[in-house]
Each structure stands twice: as C-alpha cells, then as structure tokens.
Structure 1
C-alpha cells in the first residue's frame, strides 16, 4: 500500500507535528503531508523554538498554522502518525475506522516523542532528534 497522504498529529499542533511534517515533506516532496492537533491551538503559528531548531537544517516552518484534527483529515489520510500511544488510542476511539492506519511515530523503536512545549530549546532539539530517529524506521514503509 502506498502512503500518499500522511497526517502527523500531536497535542497543540505547534511543536512536534509541524516539525515531523516538515521533515516528511522535505523527504517526500511528491506526497501530501499535513499535521493537526488533538487539542490544537487553532490559528497559532509554530512555536518559536520549533522554528529555531528546524532552521538549523534549512527547514522553514514559519508559515505553519495550527489546526484541529477532524473527520475529513483522518478520512483523507493513508497513514496517521502520532507522538504517543495515548494519541493513537484517542484517534482510534473517536474514529474506529482509523485502526490499522494510525501509529505512534516511534512505533518501530518503542518510543513516545515527549512534548517540548514551554521547555528550553534543548528539549526541542531532543524531540527533533527522536522524531528523526523514528522517521528513519518508516523509510521503507512510506516509499
């Protein structure tokens, strides 16, 4: 199965999911990559520290605007990547048809990506590193 439409989910949609979505978009420019939050800070830009840590790799997330996960977004997605087991469960409980296409981004390495919101830049760098490690495991599956 081809994963041509990938949705990345976190809580507020201003830190982890925009970072991961930008990494995926850079790696797979031919695919549709989107992000959303289970409790999104709708209309907010990406967190300044997320913008800062992504800029070190020449990845610009300045134009990101947070949005709430929705029935339309999950229905369109071929693959939904979350930051934690609890987010995966939340999505599957709300939309049972998402079972089988919703996975924790760190599924293959048994890792949740901790929320860096409100914490020092160094914590954002750790989150970014964990996202990179997690996405590496998805390479053969996403192609």
Structure 2
C-alpha cells in the first residue's frame, strides 16, 4: 500500500510544490512531500505564480520551502513522482535502490510537464493542468486498487 509519496522536480519551487499540494488535498491520510534536484534553490519559497495558480484552485502553498533530494528524504518513500523522464532517469541513476518506486507524473499519458520557471502565468496554469491530469491517471492506475481492497474488507 502506498502511504508515503515524494514529488520531484528540478528546483522544488514550481511544479513539485503544486503537485504536493494537489496530492495532500486528495490524500490527507498519506505523507506527501517534495524535493528538487538542484541545490541552488534550497530554502526558496514556491514561485509566486505557483502560489497564485494553487490559490485559484483553493490550495495554499505559500509556506513551502524548497528542499534538496537526499537519501534521508527517500528512506520511507513508497512512490517517487517526477515531472520529466530525464528527472526519473537522474533519480534512478543517483539513487539506484529506489528504481522500482519512481514514476513520471505523465507516465500513463506519456508526457513530461514542462518547467514553467521564469515564464508567464499561462505556463504555470498549463503545468498545473498536466500535473492534475497525471495525478488523476496515477490515482486510477495505482491508488484505486487500494480503495477497492479497503472497501472489500
């Protein structure tokens, strides 16, 4: 059963905080976090456009602070969700013990979520829509069997 989910993007200030917010809303009983692959953004808040897009969808990510992906963050994780195939490959290479737990958010739709960093609000809205669509697909492929099993008890 998937209980702990970690979402990864490049800097942990645009896409992964949005995905983390959506996952926390959908699965309040699970442990959800996010991290980035670049050390330079550690401690930064979420991008103002990410905060704005999430606020428009009823979610507040204004307290988010970027973290760097580490073995410590991964130790109890059941599922790692990335935004791009290249990020999945980097995580698999850098943390080989977690290969079987890594999934791109657009895996079932065969797409990457482009990085909206330093682009306009429309780019952030498009990323949000792709993330939301990917989470819906992950839910139907990975999480629904859990719900069915729980209902069958």
TM-score range, shorter chain: over 0.9
SS of the aligned residue for 2:80 comes to: strand
Alignment partners' CA distance in 1, 2:61 and 2:30 = 17
- The equivalent residue for 1:16 is 15
Question: Structure 1 runs of 4+ off > 3 angstroms?
Answer: none
Unaligned runs of 5+ residues in structure 1 are: none
Unaligned runs of 5+ residues in structure 2 are: 147-153
Alignment partners' CA distance in 1, 2:71 and 2:86 = 18
Q: What is the CA distance between 1:14 and its match in structure 2?
A: 0.3
Structure with greater Cα Rg: 2
- The equivalent residue for 1:4 is 3
Alignment of structure 1 residues 50-129 onto 2, 5 Å: 50-129=50-129
Structure with the higher helix share, 1 or 2: 2
What is the RMSD of the two structures over their aligned residues, measured on CA atoms? 0.8
- The equivalent residue for 1:39 is 38
Q: State how many pairs are aligned.
A: 142
Alignment partners' CA distance in 1, 2:86 and 2:75 = 20
Q: Is 1:138 matched with 2:138?
A: yes
TM-score of the pair, normalised by structure 1: 0.97
Alignment partners' CA distance in 2, 1:76 and 1:10 = 19
Q: What is the CA distance between 1:13 and its match in structure 2?
A: 0.2
Alignment partners' CA distance in 2, 1:79 and 1:100 = 9
